[in-house]
């Protein structure tokens, strides 16, 4: 198994951050296997979606409808609505696994691997990329 930890700054706004170029670069030169992507945070997740055509904004909008940033959450420290960030990984899991064939991600034409972060209180994130060889 080969592993790389990415240190990312997500900023002070909700975000859908495309990790696909970093993932492609990581698996380049490997043979067949699996890329496992993991976010070791209780308030972030990973989604495989289309980006750049509005889907990333649609995802944030849908999460805003499902998980409003208001005072309903029992987990109430931090910024207003922080508790929703702790519920989000039940909907957008903190992991994704993608097949790798001859050193290339076997994603569909419009699929991207994205970090989803609603947490305004933690602008620094880590993402662990692990390549598992098929041999």
Q: What's the CA gap between 97 and 86, in Å, rounded?
A: 22
pLDDT at 79 exceeding the cut of 90:
no
Q: What's the CA gap between 1 and 129, in Å, rounded?
A: 10
pLDDT for res 11: 83
* Spacing of C-alpha 116 from chain mean position: 5
pLDDT at 76 exceeding the cut of 80:
no
> 57 versus 79: which is more confidently predicted?
57
pLDDT for res 80: 80
pLDDT for res 82: 84
pTM of structure:
0.94
The CA-CA-CA angle for residues 87, 121, 84, to 5°, reads: 20
DSSP label at residue 90: G
- Where b means 16+ CB within 10 Å and e means fewer, 95-114 reads ebebebeeeebebeeebbbb
Q: What is the 3-state secondary structure (H, E, C) of 40-85?
A: CCCCEEEEEECCCCCHHHHHHHHHHHHCCCCCCCCCCCCCCCHHHH
pLDDT at 134 exceeding the cut of 90:
no
pLDDT for res 75: 82
pLDDT at 24 exceeding the cut of 90:
yes
Contact yes or no for 88/43 (Cβ under 8 A): yes
pLDDT at 102 exceeding the cut of 90:
yes
Mean pLDDT of 7-34: 95
DSSP label at residue 94: S
């Amino acid at each position: 198994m080969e592993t790389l930890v990415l240190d990312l700054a997500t900023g002070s706004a909700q975000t859908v951050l495309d990790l696909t170029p970093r993932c492609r670069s990581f698996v380049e030169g490997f043979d067949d296997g699996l890329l496992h992507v993991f976010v070791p945070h209780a308030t972030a997740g990973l989604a495989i979606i289309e980006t750049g055509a509005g889907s990333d904004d649609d995802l944030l909008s849908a999460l805003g409808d499902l998980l409003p940033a208001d005072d309903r959450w029992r987990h109430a420290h931090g910024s207003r609505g922080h508790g929703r960030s702790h519920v989000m990984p039940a909907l957008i899991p903190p992991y994704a696994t993608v097949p790798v064939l001859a050193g290339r991600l076997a994603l569909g034409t419009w699929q991207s691997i994205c970090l989803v972060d609603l947490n305004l209180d933690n602008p620094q994130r880590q993402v662990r990329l692990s390549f598992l060889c098929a041999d």
